[in-house]
Structure 1
């Protein structure tokens, strides 16, 4: 009986968390795809070894605005940046780490498949962290805005913060 209650509780939590917004998809893109002007969101780069870093290019003039789910001191926003300049600045921003290997550019799609923005994430040398892509990034529409949740993949977080009791208490 306890097992059935436990499974029911977990199922309710999963269903409720999925029902609170529409998750958006990403797919590969090329530099040539990027045209127009953007609001540039630069997330991370807060300390010397901050690999939780990404750049988001929000297409200006559409009905979507991107909002990182994070304190304001974790990111910077620059508005009305031409495509070429936005991409160059994003590249500089995500490529500073000593283990940086290359970037990965993806388009962010709404529920109808329309491109509403781009993300540029750093990929790292696999020997440094065990994988190249260290980020879990979710895009979800909530109350007419795109909420962006950015975090390290669990295995990366465990590797970096193993034994750090202050992380476990939060």
Structure 2
């Protein structure tokens, strides 16, 4: 499927999670076997030449795309979780939200120093979550070889927070 065909499967949900926001719902795309497979193939086409050792995805939709992409590429998958969800020694990165701060954590032994990591998520919006994931990789001595997204909300300028990172999105708004 083309990226335009994939884009047609993204549903707009007005006023979610709050009034004035138009949420980009990827569930129709994920639920369509051909579209989901095609999405992973498109992501893999960009990721494969970067030879990642690990895909780092944040919960929850980053797990869906990240796990499938890691499988397709034959590399590992590392989940970035909200605080209190991981049972082992962990590291943390905090980022700003519209109404405060949030954090992501990964295990302190998630990958080896020098590992090649692609930071992946479903949506690049303001870039806060993606930047936090880049910081987590750097804390462990990994090398960010790219940041990959299914959707980019370009009008929110998230790429600016990832200025020194190779960024790719399949679909842009």
TM-score bin, normalised by smaller chain: under 0.3
| TM-score, length of structure 2 as denominator length | 0.25
| TM-score, length of structure 1 as denominator length | 0.25
Which fold has the larger relative contact order, with Cα–Cα distance below 8 Å and residues 6 or more apart in sequence?
1
Structure (1 or 2) with the larger CA radius of gyration: 1
- Greater per-residue strand proportion: 1
